[in-house]
Amino acid sequence: MAQNLISLTLSDADLAAIDGALATLEEKFVPLISLQPGEVRALAKMGDKSEAFCRQTLTILEQNPQVVPPSLNVAEAQADLRAVDQLRPRMARLERLSKRADDTVIALGSDILTAALEGYALLRVSGKGQGLESLRQGLSARFAKNRRAADPEPA
């Protein structure tokens, strides 16, 4: 039975519009940074509980500037918090879109593989009489088992 989870056709105009939208996102997101895994591990991370703590602390510090030393840039921390609030809903939309794109690629790949496997099975059955045996044998490399040399038996 043939599988067809999705049929997708993108026109040249669609692709141009998508590429334009991606170019705009890349242009507008130039200030975003990329961290190395070691850098990420070394950073203090703001989770849900610590976010509430941070918001409350920054509000208290803003309301009581007399206790804030010049070395603590509360305005910069507040600007960072505003940027987080601005980015989060947009990143959530991008993540949902990325997840749908990933799922679509998986479904398309599954449709392709299923069709190819059915086609290969047809070649095995009816390809012999059609002079396709050598081509089918070339395709059979996909199914070749990687056989390791048998371990010598102990004496």
**128 domain-assigned:** yes
**41 domain-assigned:** no
- Enter the tokens of residue 145: 């088992």
**How far apart are the C-alpha atoms of 83 and 45, rounded to whole Å?**
16
Predicted TM-score (pTM) of this structure:
0.77
**8 domain-assigned:** no
Number of structural domains (the chain) is 1
Domain assignment of residue 62, given as a range: 48-142
How many CA atoms does the CB half-sphere of 102 hold within 13 Å?
A: 6
Model pLDDT for residues 54-106, shown as the tens digit of each residue = 999 999 999 999 999 999 999 999 999 999 999 999 999 999 999 999 999 99
